[in-house]
Amino acid sequence: MELQILIWTAISIGFIHTIIGPDHYLPFIMIARARKWKLIKTMWVTFFCGIGHVLGSVLLGVVGVLLGISVGLLENVESVRGDIASWLLIGFGIAYAAWGLRIGLRATEHSHKHTHNENDNHQHIHHHLGTHAHLHGNPQSITPWVLFIIFVLGPCEPLIPLLMYPAAQGSWINLIWVTIVFGITTIGTMTLIVFVISKGLLNIKLGFLEKYSHAIAGLIIALAGLSIKLLGL
């Protein structure tokens, strides 16, 4: 009976914790939309970041259990980790938005008038987003790793009390079950939200704002990090 209560508590808290925290899904949705990732890649990146997100707190909780550290101290450590993760998310969002704005501006077409002789006048329309700019200004390869690092540092605050209760009862089996259920619920909810929303965004066109999709993505990610910082989500 006690294990059932713990499991349902882990499911409820894991689901609610993920739903109310936009940092659990907005970064993946926005980056995938801007970078035009395939849905399968978006899901894999979300899945692995979710694993890192949960494992970071699990390891901290297990170390706390083994060393007999109090719940209050562990929650303070998680709070510090949360501050670091939120600032990293804000910084990443701002940096990505700045890069995206630069790319968007360089992608704006404009014309130059060419006069070869009095009978040959024409205009040449082009933009400055050529191959050179793409190769040296594209964080494509490092973006998933940046997200992974941020999510490893990002805490699952509700998990600590859930782990400490069965540990205090000396029940490692219950602790393992709570960890597994909370992890599956959190990661499953993350991937489900990302899948549903990303699927809906695939056919949405932004019109003239399309070339600023990276800047928009970065701005929304920064706002998600700011909401975590200010509202404690």
Give the model's confidence band at 102: pLDDT under 50 very low, under 70 low, under 90 confident, else very high: confident
* Three-state SS annotation for the chain: CHHHHHHHHHHHHHHHHHHCCHHHCHHHHHHHHHHCCCHHHHHHHHHHHHHHHHHHHHHHHHHHHHHCCCHHHHHHHHHHHHHHHHHHHHHHHHHHHHHHHHHHHHCCCEEEEEEEECCEEEEEEECCCCHHHHHHCCCCCCHHHHHHHHHHHCCCCCHHHHHHHHHHCCCHHHHHHHHHHHHHHHHHHHHHHHHHHHHHHCCCCCHHHHHHHHHHHHHHHHHHHHHHHHHCC
pTM: 0.76
Does pLDDT of 130 surpass 50? no
126 — pLDDT class (breaks 50, 70, 90): very low
Identify the weakest region by mean pLDDT among 16-20, 141-145, 180-184: 141-145
Domain ranges of the chain: 2-9+25-108+132-200+209-231
